[in-house]
């Protein structure tokens, strides 16, 4: 058995000497992707004759049914009728003037100029083949029979038309010297200064067959001539520039030719597709595109290159775009050994090794060799000493110095799917049947028995520059081996929890892990992960490879993304705006979806190219030759729909009141890859921030409030180049009558009036209730006054009279004389207080002097006549007082005065009554020893004078304050708000008119005012 295996291995190695087809792996710019549009894509007429691009970025198609406009996504029928109502018919040619006007010619012989949607026409009586604008601004127009020279403004002929012998073929085209050239079935002609058509070169007398030729304009402005033998010449000198390696197809099948921005010549063929001639070293190689390569039809009538360098083919069955790929796809068709590539490895000599299902393949430049033909390769690893390790179904092998050796004798490995080599040369390998092993140089392989890796499925292995071996597991964990120890990481350490598909190392030494739930990277002893919420194109990754330029390449099953690694590490938000990157997919040349079958689905070669496995074959990305689109996409607002009705955008827009829904459609003109155009929009006047519209080309709003709005939209092309100027649309949403300002003010006035009425009704109700209570109180006060006058005061007067008689009868030196005098004074004081009370009950007018008189009588009733007399001061403008307030104020003042007389000794006492505008103030000040702070707070035990004063002050809503300090005297201050203390009179009204006039209807009057 062992002998048979060695014989098979020898045959497999010798098979590498077999002849193989060349693989042009370096020709990354030689491939084009073809995209076709037809009826199913909304193209109104698929028979296309001509293509042109206007400055706003739109493509215009001349079709059998008139003009069609194309923005890369949708088609719009445009101007299918002439100004006189006649159908436009077939539009056979298009050209753009320097002024931006679009010229068109029709099959019925009509020449038209379109400006701002208006069409100006002029009849030429025969099929219009071609239109050209001369340097002087005039027009040269070729019909099927004649060459016309016209004024560009009026479209009128400047000279008689020139006949075209044997029919038009190409042109007219103007050379740098200003001469006009045209080719017909008879040959090449130019128009001299006299307007004569002269054949070039001049025909010899002897008849000879005429070569058919086509005029071409190069990107640098030179005029060249391509003949039917494939020779490119200068029409003036006749000098051959290059010669095609093969003759061109029959002249009768050539419908036109053009030169692209790279110098390639493209030829449109009727029945044979498109032919591309690529000049090199005086010759030109050719490549043909037909329906087999994706064209909508092999009958191609016109070729056009847009400003983004896409080539457009107008066919009889639709519109085709040929886009130059920046990515090369290689399959069996291009010479690969197999379409199933499992692993890729790269050597320092820029050689690339492909492990396939049918053997090992080496590619160096455009040459390749095959080894182990018929053997399925499971894994590849390029060692540090440039030895290639190969895991196969036949065991573990090694390629070095052009020889392949088998290592089957070590452990009989038959399913090695993961390989890694550390800095000491130790080989780590994982066999799906036997587990994880390590093999030191010149020693047999030994199993790894650490508990973190035993019975674990290893899906990725990587050896970092510092010698650490990393293992990615199927369960989402990662294990590393450093300094003889294993350390395991789990989702608790920040990992995503998805299967680890690939491991790699960044420029800063960080570890990147591609998992099925996102991209993770090490941050010291912890991991952080990014996914679609962080700006990644997807969550399920196949692999991740950082490059030396600070980017990281991510493999998905729908494409390859290149992102800025530093911004990706720093960006943990849900916004994608901060991550700079690009996604490459089938539109960029990755014809088949990226895939992962082996341990190395992608590799960066030393020359900077990225090689990756796909579902069929491989793809090669050369960052140095990637063509980017620097042109910001022009933005056009296409329409506004209000409640399902289209609005005319050519006029000032004023939408009807109560418009419920508004839908604005727009587009970004990027013809290279319109699917990847991204939009941001904002409705100024409603939106506070920009909306990320993605690739959607419409914005909807509902229930907008009436006001003036401005809609702004920005767009970025597939390479992330933003048009920051954008497009704007102003419109006004008119208010309904109930949304106007005057209606709102009217409603506010009505509400205010209702509130005022309700308030007045409530106020009057309260007044009536208070009047009833007042009348009840007046009756009670009258009864009390009667009782006081008829009984108490009369009795007190009688008592006083008896005391006076007794006082007169008693001798001065009698001991009872003094107590009798005191009793007489107390009776007189009681009678005065009673009369004040009676006055307050009967008379509604109490003045300041009346109040002070009551206080004076209280002081006079005090028995000590030798003390310093009390001073009484009245300040301010005297005003009548409310009786209830005056009564309580008198009681408080008398209590304060009695306390001062009792405790001040011989110190002076001052009573001050101040009539202020805002308040009535009564103060009693003595210059005695003061009052203890404890007594001020709680009062003297068993005495309730202070308590009573505070209660009376609270009842009349007065401010009561006692200020006292040792040896500084005592001041009792009572301050009553003027609105409560004073009765209403003319003077008071005059004083308060300015302050209360505005709010008088809403002011609740005090009780005393209502009783007046």
Query: Whose CA is closest to 379, among 603, 81, 106?
Result: 603
Residue that the structure tokens 């199933």 belong to:
340
pLDDT at position 411 is 60
pLDDT at residue 568 greater than cutoff 60? yes
Tell me what percent of the residues of the chain surpass a pLDDT of 70: 88
pLDDT at position 463 is 94
Top pLDDT among 1000 and 967 is at: 967
Q: What is the mean pLDDT of residues 596-620?
A: 94
The number of beta carbons lying within 10 Å of the beta carbon of residue 784 is: 13
* 445 close to 410: Cβ distance less than 8 angstroms: yes
* 207 close to 249: Cβ distance less than 8 angstroms: no
Mean pLDDT of the chain: 85
Structure-block tokens of residue 86: 């006649």
Query: Whose CA is closest to 536, among 516, 522, 510?
Result: 516
Top pLDDT among 882 and 841 is at: 882
CA triplet 834, 840, 846: central angle to 5 degrees?
A: 115
CA atoms of 664 and 676, how far apart (whole Å): 20
Q: What is the mean pLDDT of residues 585-598?
A: 89
pLDDT at position 860 is 78
**Cis bond leading into 852, ω under 30°?**
no
* 90 close to 68: Cβ distance less than 8 angstroms: no
Model confidence over 198-218: pLDDT tens digits? 888 755 444 445 778 899 988
CA atoms of 500 and 984, how far apart (whole Å): 92
Contacts of 815 (CB under 8 A, 6+ apart): none
Model confidence over 130-169: pLDDT tens digits? 999 998 999 999 998 899 999 999 999 998 999 998 889 9
* 589 close to 327: Cβ distance less than 8 angstroms: yes
Contacts of 272 (CB under 8 A, 6+ apart): 249, 253, 288, 290, 298
Burial of 489 (0-12, 13-18, 19+ CB in 10 A): buried
Band of residue 513 on the pLDDT scale cut at 50, 70, 90? very high
Band of residue 777 on the pLDDT scale cut at 50, 70, 90? confident
CA 440, 445, 450, 453 torsion-angle sign: positive
pLDDT at position 492 is 93
Residue 10 phi/psi, 5-degree rounding, is -60, -45
**Strand-pair category, 139-143 with 146-150:** antiparallel
Model confidence over 636-653: pLDDT tens digits? 999 999 999 999 998 899
* 111 close to 122: Cβ distance less than 8 angstroms: yes
Percent helix, strand, coil in the chain, to 5, is 20, 40, 40
DSSP 8-state code for residue 270:
B
Structure-block tokens of residue 872: 């009484």
pLDDT at residue 291 greater than cutoff 80? yes
Contacts of 584 (CB under 8 A, 6+ apart): 326, 327, 559, 560, 561, 562, 590, 621
Tell me what percent of the residues of the chain surpass a pLDDT of 90: 48
* 372 close to 355: Cβ distance less than 8 angstroms: no
Q: What is the mean pLDDT of residues 254-276?
A: 91
Model confidence over 684-703: pLDDT tens digits? 999 999 999 989 999 999 99
Band of residue 480 on the pLDDT scale cut at 50, 70, 90? very high
CA atoms of 318 and 47, how far apart (whole Å): 6
Band of residue 357 on the pLDDT scale cut at 50, 70, 90? very high
Residue that the structure tokens 């296309």 belong to:
48
Q: Please provide the DSSP assignment of 604-661 as one string.
A: E-TTS-EEEEBSSSEEEE-GGGPPP--SPPPEEEEEEEETTEEE-TTS-EEEPTT--E
Top pLDDT among 294 and 401 is at: 294
Q: What is the mean pLDDT of residues 184-188?
A: 89
Listing from the earlier edge strand, what are the strands of the sheet with 500-505? 500-505, 511-515, 518-523, 526-530
Put simply, whether the predicted model's pTM sits higher than 0.85 gets the answer no
Query: Whose CA is closest to 945, among 975, 928, 924, 915?
Result: 924
Over the range 747-760, which residues count as b (16 or more CB within 10 Å of their CB) and which as e?
A: eeeeeeeeeeeeee
Top pLDDT among 23 and 849 is at: 849
Query: Whose CA is closest to 523, among 507, 510, 505, 536?
Result: 510
pLDDT at position 790 is 61
CA atoms of 412 and 205, how far apart (whole Å): 87
CA 310 to each of CA 473, 585, 732: distance values in angstroms, whole numbers, following the listed order? 45, 17, 40
pLDDT at residue 793 greater than cutoff 80? no
Residue that the structure tokens 């679609």 belong to:
532
Over the range 208-244, which residues count as b (16 or more CB within 10 Å of their CB) and which as e?
A: eeeebbbbbeeeeeebbbbbbebbbbebeeeeebbeb
Over the range 796-805, which residues count as b (16 or more CB within 10 Å of their CB) and which as e?
A: beeebeebee
pLDDT at position 993 is 42
Residue 886 phi/psi, 5-degree rounding, is -65, -35
DSSP 8-state code for residue 881:
B
Residue 1010 phi/psi, 5-degree rounding, is -70, -25
Band of residue 4 on the pLDDT scale cut at 50, 70, 90? very low
Assign 307 to helix, strand or coil: coil
Query: Whose CA is closest to 28, among 369, 367, 365, 260?
Result: 365
Structure-block tokens of residue 355: 């492990």
Structure-block tokens of residue 648: 């005319």
**Strand-pair category, 458-463 with 469-473:** antiparallel
DSSP 8-state code for residue 792:
I
pLDDT at position 738 is 87
Q: How many residues does the chain have?
A: 1012
Half-sphere exposure (CA, 13 Å, Cβ side) for 458? Answer: 31
CA atoms of 388 and 386, how far apart (whole Å): 6
Band of residue 573 on the pLDDT scale cut at 50, 70, 90? low
DSSP 8-state code for residue 791:
I
* 502 close to 542: Cβ distance less than 8 angstroms: yes
Backbone dihedral region of 36: left (phi > 0), alpha (psi from -120 to 50 degrees) or beta?
beta
pLDDT at residue 179 greater than cutoff 90? no
CA atoms of 518 and 539, how far apart (whole Å): 4
pLDDT at position 775 is 74
* 915 close to 851: Cβ distance less than 8 angstroms: no
pLDDT at residue 863 greater than cutoff 70? no
Contacts of 748 (CB under 8 A, 6+ apart): none
Burial of 136 (0-12, 13-18, 19+ CB in 10 A): exposed
pLDDT at position 2 is 41
């Amino acid at each position: 058995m062992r002998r048979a295996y060695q014989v098979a291995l020898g045959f497999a190695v010798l098979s590498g000497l077999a002849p193989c087809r060349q693989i042009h792996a370096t020709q990354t710019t030689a491939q084009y992707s073809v995209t076709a549009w037809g009826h199913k894509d909304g193209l109104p007429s698929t028979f296309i004759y001509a293509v042109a691009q206007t400055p706003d970025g739109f493509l215009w198609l001349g079709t059998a049914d008139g003009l069609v406009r194309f923005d890369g996504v949708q088609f719009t029928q445009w101007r299918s009728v002439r100004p006189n109502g006649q159908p436009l018919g077939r539009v056979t040619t298009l050209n753009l003037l320097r002024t931006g006007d679009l010229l068109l010619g029709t099959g019925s012989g009509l020449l038209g100029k379109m400006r701002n949607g208006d069409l100006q026409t002029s009849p030429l009586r025969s099929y219009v083949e071609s239109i050209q604008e001369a340097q002087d601004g005039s027009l040269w127009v070729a019909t099927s029979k004649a060459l016309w020279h016209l004024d560009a403004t009026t479209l009128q002929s400047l000279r008689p038309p020139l006949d075209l012998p044997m029919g038009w073929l190409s042109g007219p085209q103007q050379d740098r010297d200003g001469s006009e050239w045209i080719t017909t079935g008879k040959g090449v002609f130019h128009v001299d200064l006299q307007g004569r058509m002269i054949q070039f070169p001049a025909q010899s007398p002897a008849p000879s067959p005429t070569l058919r030729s086509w005029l071409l304009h190069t990107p640098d402005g030179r005029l060249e001539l391509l003949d039917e033998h494939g020779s490119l010449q200068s029409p003036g000198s006749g000098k051959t520039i290059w010669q095609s390696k093969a003759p061109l197809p029959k002249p009768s099948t050539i419908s036109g030719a053009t030169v692209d921005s790279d110098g390639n010549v493209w030829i449109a063929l009727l029945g044979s597709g498109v032919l591309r001639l690529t000049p090199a070293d005086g010759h030109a190689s050719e490549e043909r595109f037909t329906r087999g390569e994706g064209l909508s039809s092999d009958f191609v009538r016109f070729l056009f290159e847009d400003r983004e360098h896409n080539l457009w083919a107008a066919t009889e069955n639709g519109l085709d775009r040929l886009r130059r790929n920046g990515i090369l796809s290689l399959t069996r068709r291009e010479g690969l050994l197999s379409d199933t590539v499992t692993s890729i490895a790269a050597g320092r000599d820029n050689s690339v090794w492909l492990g396939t299902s049918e053997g090992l393949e080496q590619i160096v430049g455009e040459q390749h060799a095959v080894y182990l033909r018929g053997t399925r390769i499971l894994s590849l690893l390029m060692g540090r000493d440039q030895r290639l390790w190969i895991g196969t179904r036949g065991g573990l092998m090694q390629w070095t110095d052009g020889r392949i050796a088998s290592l089957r004798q070590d452990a009989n490995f038959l399913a090695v799917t993961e390989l890694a080599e550390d800095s000491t040369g130790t080989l780590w390998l994982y066999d799906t049947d036997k587990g994880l092993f390590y093999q030191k140089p010149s020693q047999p392989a030994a199993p790894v028995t650490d508990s973190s890796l035993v019975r674990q499925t290893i899906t990725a292995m990587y050896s970092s520059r510092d010698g650490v071996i990393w293992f990615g597991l199927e369960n989402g964990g990662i294990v590393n081996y450093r300094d003889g120890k294993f350390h395991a990481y789990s989702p608790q350490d920040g990992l995503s929890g998805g299967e680890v598909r690939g491991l790699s190392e960044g420029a800063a030494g960080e570890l990147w892990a591609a998992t099925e739930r996102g991209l993770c990277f090490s941050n010291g002893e912890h991991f952080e992960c990014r996914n679609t919420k962080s700006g990644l194109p997807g969550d399920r990754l196949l692999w991740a490879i950082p490059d030396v330029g600070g980017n990281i390449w991510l493999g998905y099953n729908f494409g390859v993304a290149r992102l800025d690694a530093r911004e990706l590490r720093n960006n943990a938000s849900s916004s994608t705006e901060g991550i700079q990157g690009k996604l490459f997919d089938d539109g960029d040349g990755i014809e088949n979806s990226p895939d992962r079958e082996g341990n190395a689905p992608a590799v960066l070669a030393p020359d900077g190219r990225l090689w990756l496995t796909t579902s069929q074959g491989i793809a090669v990305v050369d960052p140095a030759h990637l063509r980017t689109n620097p042109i910001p996409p022009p933005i056009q607002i296409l329409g506004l729909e209000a409640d399902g009705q289209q609005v005319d955008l050519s006029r000032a827009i004023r939408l009807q009141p109560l418009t419920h829904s508004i839908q604005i459609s727009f587009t970004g003109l990027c013809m290279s890859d319109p699917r990847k155009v991204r939009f941001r929009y904002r409705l100024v006047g409603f939106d506070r921030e920009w909306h990320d519209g993605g690739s959607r080309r419409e914005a909807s709003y509902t229930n907008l409030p009436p006001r003036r709005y401005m809609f702004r939209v920005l767009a970025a092309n597939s390479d992330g180049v933003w048009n920051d100027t954008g497009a704007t649309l102003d419109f006004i949403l008119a208010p309904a009558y109930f949304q106007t300002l005057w209606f709102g003010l009217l409603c506010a006035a009505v509400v205010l009036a209702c509130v005022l009425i309700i308030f007045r009704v409530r106020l009057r109700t309260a007044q009536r209730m208070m009047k009833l209570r007042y009348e009840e109180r007046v009756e009670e006060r009258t009864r009390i006054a009667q009782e006081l006058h008829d009984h108490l005061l009369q009795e007190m007067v009688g008592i006083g009279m008896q005391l006076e008689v007794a006082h007169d009868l008693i001798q001065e030196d009698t001991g009872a004389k003094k107590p009798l005098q005191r009793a007489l004074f107390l009776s007189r004081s009681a009678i005065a207080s009673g009369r004040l009370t009676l006055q307050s009950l009967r008379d509604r007018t109490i003045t300041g002097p009346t109040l002070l008189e009551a206080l004076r009588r209280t002081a006079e009733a005090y028995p000590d006549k030798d003390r310093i007399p009390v001073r009484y001061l009245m300040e301010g403008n005297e005003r009548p007082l409310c009786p209830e307030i005056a009564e309580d104020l008198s009681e408080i003042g008398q209590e304060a005065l009695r306390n001062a007389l009792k405790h001040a000794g011989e110190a002076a006492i001052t009573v001050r009554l101040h009539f202020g505008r805002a308040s009535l103030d009564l103060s009693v000040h003595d210059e005695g020893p003061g009052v203890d702070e404890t007594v001020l707070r709680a009062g003297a035990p068993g005495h309730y004078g202070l308590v009573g004063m505070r209660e009376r002050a609270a009842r009349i809503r007065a401010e009561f304050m006692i200020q006292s300090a040792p040896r500084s005297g005592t001041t009792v201050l009572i301050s009553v708000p003027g609105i409560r203390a004073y009765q209403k009179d003319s003077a008071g009204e005059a004083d308060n008119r300015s302050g209360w006039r505005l709010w008088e209807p809403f002011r609740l009057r005090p009780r005393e005012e209502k009783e007046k």
